[in-house]
Structure 1
């Protein structure tokens, strides 16, 4: 398939729809160097399409798997995007928000942008979508209120949802900069931990939202050690055994986010845009973990959501100190000082 440069309307559509499907990425992507903005914006939209297929509960397991595989082929250029839209769009339910309906309908425009990138960029995007779509479909088949079997199962789920995105972003950063590429091996390992820290924070924040739709992504083994069965979890009463298990997971997430800091500090200081892209996500995650840790008896995600004022303060502070590894390390120590720690080794944390 011959690639063509995206026209102005397609590029503009991509920028506009980003604001509707993700406030966070619409905020962070413009901080990146101009050479990375379009490809990373496009990468996010591809992941969002994959996520929409997985999340719409009107689709059967067989339909989800078939459409996920089909979308992977669309990204690779082996199936026309229009055919994919014709199959998926009529099946979408009200569970999928209007902005995502619009995104699915305009998949051909997004894919034309995808196919304008160089081979290294396309390979990174194709690999991410392929792994994410297959992994998420596998986990959807086992979705229950019982939770996942153990922490390794949670790690693998986080890899499919976020760790592979970290790998993709690292591939794109390394393609952009030969200086960053010199540290590729270590960055690739840390990128998985970075993604897991962000995803674990989301899982902990969204415990009750997930349960309302019949899902639980917490690991059974952590809570069984405390004498608690996840199926017994109920928002109307708090159990200290559950809170103790939650504390262990907060400690694991904290260590992953510390690895995210190490990752960020390995990006050359003069690449301030990439650093800010990483730091804003890291800062908001560590502050969210603090709220969860301080309110382990919460029963609604809104109770542990950080305020817009906090988001603005995070952006301002991390932007001021973005080029100083020493200052960033001190900020992390201060922000995480009240969080529990884990004894799990880095070797196990970085193992997929």
Structure 2
């Protein structure tokens, strides 16, 4: 690969990140230079899988076939051009223009993927394989009835977020021998970290998901409160639904508490990695507070955190990134009004 091509691919990666995710375009530059390119690439690979899963114009068979094909593209068994030519014409208006562009330029993203070292590539390949298999399987289960129980929700969250946490941990450990000393503990906490973020997204997106025929809430949690998800309608939710929502908010909070433990295991001098983690945790806690305060919300926009809140989170966590005692205090204060629900110790 020529240096010019590599430079062009790196520039494209930075450019398209701005279009597909403002959040990651903001957080990835906080990372040490040695991690920015590979983690930016990892996000784009995950976004391609998301695009395959989310575009409603694709049939279940097409989704399954394309997800499997992309796994082979990442591993180098299939040319990226073949995948792009197969998927790009099938995309609908449901997929945003930046994602259309991303799919069209999959070869540039994959050239970056294949430029990384063997440990990094293995981490990316494993993540995309597990994520692709999981998303295809769960799309077949999509319904308004919800998932059977909390264990099913845990498994769903693992396939779409927990495995990403494991991948990031592999990359952090490859980058730093000091971080690698805590690898076994970090790998366990990484799954919980991912679940906390994903549960927050699921709760925020309840009504948007239902509009497209999906519900990722666990039936058992709500049945224990006397509410059947089959009866879920915006603006007409019984107290049992609000109580079940509270339980899930509390579970998400506990996972985010584990995310804070994960972050404090990162050496205090690695403030860039800590900021990368802390900004995600901070925004999730703020979102949970909004949901908790307005459990009768009927659209995600009603519980979306403001830009001012995002800026405050960025400022506070950046200032305190290296101070463990302060991070514990900030998390305790910011999450104090959320329900307390214990999860299994890791």
Look up the match of 1:203. 202
Query: Contact conserved, 1:4 with 1:115, CA < 8 A, in 2?
Result: no
- String of CA shifts for 1:155-195, please: whole Å, max 9, x gaps: 00000000000000000000000000000000000000000
Give the CA RMSD over aligned residues.
Answer: 0.9
Greater shift after overlay, 132-141 or 228-237? 228-237
Look up the match of 1:279. 278
Query: Contact conserved, 1:208 with 1:235, CA < 8 A, in 2?
Result: yes
Look up the match of 2:40. 41
Following TM superposition, by how much is the alpha carbon of 1:11 offset from its aligned partner in structure 2, in angstroms? Answer: 0.5
- String of CA shifts for 1:307-346, please: whole Å, max 9, x gaps: 0000000000000000000000000000010000113322
Look up the match of 1:236. 235
Distance in 2, matches of 1:197 and 1:343, equals: 13
Query: Contact conserved, 1:4 with 1:116, CA < 8 A, in 2?
Result: no
1:172 maps to 2:149: no
Query: Contact conserved, 1:198 with 1:257, CA < 8 A, in 2?
Result: yes
Distance in 2, matches of 1:280 and 1:344, equals: 23
Moved over 3 A (4+): 3-6
Alignment of 1:34-73 (within 5 A): 34-73=33-72
Look up the match of 1:8. 7
Query: Contact conserved, 1:4 with 1:112, CA < 8 A, in 2?
Result: no
- String of CA shifts for 1:119-170, please: whole Å, max 9, x gaps: 0000000000000000010000010000000000000000000000000000
Distance in 2, matches of 1:40 and 1:296, equals: 35
Look up the match of 1:252. 251
1:292 maps to 2:294: no
Look up the match of 2:118. 119
Distance in 1, matches of 2:126 and 2:237, equals: 42
Following TM superposition, by how much is the alpha carbon of 1:236 offset from its aligned partner in structure 2, in angstroms? Answer: 2.8
Distance in 2, matches of 1:31 and 1:99, equals: 23
TM-score of the pair, normalised by structure 1: 0.97
Look up the match of 1:24. 23
Distance in 2, matches of 1:20 and 1:138, equals: 28
Distance in 1, matches of 2:61 and 2:260, equals: 40
* Aligned residues between the structures: 345
SS of 1:342's equivalent? coil
Following TM superposition, by how much is the alpha carbon of 1:15 offset from its aligned partner in structure 2, in angstroms? Answer: 0.2
Look up the match of 2:211. 212
Query: Contact conserved, 1:290 with 1:339, CA < 8 A, in 2?
Result: yes
Look up the match of 1:93. 92
1:331 maps to 2:341: no
